[in-house]
Amino acid sequence: MFSTTLESAFVSDTVRKFLLDGPKKLLIGGKWVDGQLGRTFHSIDPATGQPLAEICEAGEEDVHLAVQAARTALDGPWRNVSPAERGRLLWQLADLIEQHSEELSQLESLDTGKPVTETSFVDIAFTVDHFRYFAGWTTKITGETLPVSFPGSYLTYTRREPIGVVGAIVPWNFPLMITSWKLAPALACGNTVVLKPSEMTPLTAIRLGELVMEAGFPPGVVNIVPGYGQSAGAALSKHPGVDKITFTGSTRVGRDILQNSSTNFKRVSLELGGKSPNIVFPDADMDAVAGGIMMSIFFNQGEVCCAGSRLYLHKRIYDQVLAKVCERAQAIRQGVGVDPSTQMGPLVSEAHMQRVLSYIEKGRAEGGKVLTGGTKNSDQGYFVQPTVLEATDDMFVAREEIFGPVLAVMPFEDVSDVVQRANHTEYGLAAGVWSSDVKTALQVAHALKAGTVWVNGYSLLDPVSPWGGFKQSGIGREMGRYALEHFTEVKSVWLNLT
Catalytic residues: 271, 305
Give the shortest CB-174-to-ligand NAD separation in angstroms: 6
Alpha carbon distance 402, 434 (integer Å): 23
Asked if 431 touches ligand NAD (CB under 6 A), the answer is no
Per-residue CA distances from 178 to 6, 13, 323 (Å): 25, 27, 35
- Count other Cβ atoms within 10 Å, centred on residue 484: 16
Using CB under 6 A as the binding criterion, the count of chain residues that bind ligand NAD stands at 31
Nearer to ligand NAD, 215 or 257 (CB): 257
The stretch among 71-79, 243-251, 284-292, 293-301 that binds ligand NAD (CB under 6 A) is 243-251
Q: Do the Cβ atoms of 294 and 307 come closer than 8 Å? A: no
The stretch among 25-33, 191-199, 212-220, 320-328 that binds ligand NAD (CB under 6 A) is 191-199
- The residue from 429, 444, 445, 453 that contacts ligand NAD (CB under 6 A) is 429
- Count other Cβ atoms within 10 Å, centred on residue 28: 25
169: burial class by Cβ within 10 Å (0-12, 13-18, 19+)?
Answer: buried
Asked if 335 touches ligand NAD (CB under 6 A), the answer is no
- Sign, Cα dihedral of 53, 226, 162, 221: negative
Give the shortest CB-491-to-ligand NAD separation in angstroms: 29
Asked if 186 touches ligand NAD (CB under 6 A), the answer is no
Asked if 167 touches ligand NAD (CB under 6 A), the answer is no
Alpha carbon distance 50, 352 (integer Å): 16
- The residue from 189, 215, 284, 305 that contacts ligand NAD (CB under 6 A) is 305
Give the shortest CB-133-to-ligand NAD separation in angstroms: 17
- The residue from 229, 368, 432, 463 that contacts ligand NAD (CB under 6 A) is 229
- Taking CB atoms, the residue at the shortest distance from ligand NAD is 229
The stretch among 147-155, 157-165, 217-225, 233-241 that binds ligand NAD (CB under 6 A) is 233-241
Per-residue CA distances from 297 to 315, 329, 386 (Å): 20, 10, 9
Alpha carbon distance 96, 399 (integer Å): 42
- The residue from 191, 474, 476, 486 that contacts ligand NAD (CB under 6 A) is 474
**Closest to 303 measured CA to CA, from 243, 344, 364, 362:** 344
Alpha carbon distance 88, 97 (integer Å): 14
Per-residue binding string, ligand NAD, 336-375, x by CB under 6 A, is ----------------------------------------
- The residue from 234, 347, 388, 461 that contacts ligand NAD (CB under 6 A) is 234
Helix, strand, coil distribution of the chain in percent, nearest 5? 40, 20, 35
Give the shortest CB-457-to-ligand NAD separation in angstroms: 18
Residue length, the chain? Answer: 498
Q: Do the Cβ atoms of 399 and 354 come closer than 8 Å? A: no
For the chain, counts of helices (H) and of strands (E): 17, 20
The stretch among 57-65, 132-140, 227-235, 410-418 that binds ligand NAD (CB under 6 A) is 227-235
Asked if 230 touches ligand NAD (CB under 6 A), the answer is yes
**Closest to 454 measured CA to CA, from 309, 300, 276:** 276
Asked if 237 touches ligand NAD (CB under 6 A), the answer is yes
Interface with ligand NAD in residues 263-282 (CB under 6 A): 271-274
The stretch among 65-73, 171-179, 187-195, 372-380 that binds ligand NAD (CB under 6 A) is 171-179
Report the SS3 class of residue 269.
strand
Nearer to ligand NAD, 132 or 196 (CB): 196
**Closest to 456 measured CA to CA, from 468, 470, 438, 469:** 438
Nearer to ligand NAD, 406 or 429 (CB): 429
Binding site for ligand NAD (CB under 6 A): 169-173, 178, 196, 198-199, 228-230, 233-234, 237, 248-250, 253, 256-257, 271-274, 305, 401, 403, 429, 469, 474
